[in-house]
Amino acid sequence: MSAIAEGFRGFARYLGGVMGADAYQKYLEHHVASGHLGPPMTEREFWRDRTDRQDSNPQGRCC
């Protein structure tokens, strides 16, 4: 049964990555790795900025 549960968790992580659910976590990792001096955006600021950028610069994307 644990193999099935682990497979489901892996699929859920994959699907979350495809949908962009892990974008804020990736942003934080990039922020730290890039050595930015200022504090990172809050999660709310990040999602608002991301949505605004997508709306002002539409590109080919699903849905």
Q: Give the SS3 label for residue 53.
A: helix
Print pLDDT tens along the chain (63 aa): 788 888 878 877 777 777 778 899 999 999 999 999 999 999 999 999 999 998 898 776 665
Q: What is the pTM of this model?
A: 0.67
pLDDT of residue 62: 63
Residue 41 in domain: yes
Parent domain of 41: 22-56
Residue 21 CA to residue 31 CA, distance in Å, equals 17
pLDDT of residue 10: 81
Residue 51 in domain: yes
Q: How many domains does the chain have?
A: 1
pLDDT of residue 58: 78
Residue 50 in domain: yes
